[in-house]
Amino acid sequence: MIDQRYVQQIALNWQVVCDQVRDAALQAGRQAEEIRIVGVTKYVDAETTAALVRAGCFDLGENRPQVLWEKADSDEMDDSIRWHLIGHLQRNKVRRTLQYRPRIHSIDSPRLLPAVSEESLRLSITTEVLLEINISGDDTKTGMNANQIESLIDQGIPQGVHLVGLMAMAGLGTDRGSAQQQFAAVRRFRDTLRQRTDLPLSELSMGMSKDFVEAIAEGATMVRIGSRLFSTTPS
Ligand SMILES: *Cc1c(COP(=O)(O)O)cnc(C)c1O
């Protein structure tokens, strides 16, 4: 059993993060409703994840496919949850992962898209995906470079897949100002892709605990927040 004080802390953290996201949206001249908060639950077990859901967070993100499967299968979870895969998806894990109908933020290689397409068609579903761009240039970060993304799009998005936008992470150790510049570059790149295709590419998944305010200023529509929600010290 998790400690009731921790359950209350999580509920409070959720409210604080919701308020800060709202403030950041208003500051940027945007509507709070334009931004979806994905609660990143990779740090905690199913019981603690359930406490976040009870606090009102119904979009959950996991970075490891197996952990997403296990959590989604656990008795703590119900149908109200919308799953987001935000980490690397191995092609041999596509089939099992799609059972949970996640939105996949992390299409990080051109070879993954045909696999997701094939399996989506087999299940008669459409899978929403985002292409992960490596903007920081860090070798340690995953994602495709701009050329790879352009050529992938020029080849045509396969059936069964609905490309909704781009996902990015600021480089490790970047300060908030540089993070904001990187997010602005993602938005501009999305705008050029829009002209290349007839796709709206309306989703930008960017911003984490330390830089979501900057990401919202640059047009993020999904922020992926983990540590701030599970912290035991007031934010
Ligand atoms: C862990 C993780 C997050 C959340 O990071 P926090 O700094 O804990 O908010 C967001 N996106 C991805 C891809 C992650 O792996």
Query: Is 214 within 8 Å of 176 (Cβ atoms)?
Result: yes
Query: 123: pLDDT confidence band, cut at 50, 70 and 90?
Result: very high
How far, in Å, is the centroid of ligand 1 from the Cα of 143?
A: 15
pLDDT at res. 80: 93
| CA dihedral over 47, 49, 52, 58, signed as positive or negative | negative
Query: 142: pLDDT confidence band, cut at 50, 70 and 90?
Result: confident
pTM tops 0.75, yes or no:
yes
Q: How far apart are CA 153 and CA 18, in angstroms?
A: 34
How far, in Å, is the centroid of ligand 1 from the Cα of 121?
A: 30
Per residue in 34-74, pLDDT (tens digit) is 999 999 999 999 999 999 999 999 999 999 999 999 999 99
Per residue in 71-101, pLDDT (tens digit) is 999 999 988 999 999 999 999 999 999 999 9
How far, in Å, is the centroid of ligand 1 from the Cα of 69?
A: 18
SS3 86: coil
User: For a substitution probing ligand 1, which of 63, 83, 228 has the most ligand atoms within 8 Å of its CB?
Assistant: 63
Tokens 């045909």 map to which residue?
A: 114
Which residue has the CA at smallest separation from atom 15 of ligand 1? 63
- Mean pLDDT within 112-123: 97
Atom nearest to 209 CA in ligand 1: 9
User: For a substitution probing ligand 1, which of 136, 166, 208 has the most ligand atoms within 8 Å of its CB?
Assistant: 208
pLDDT at res. 140: 66
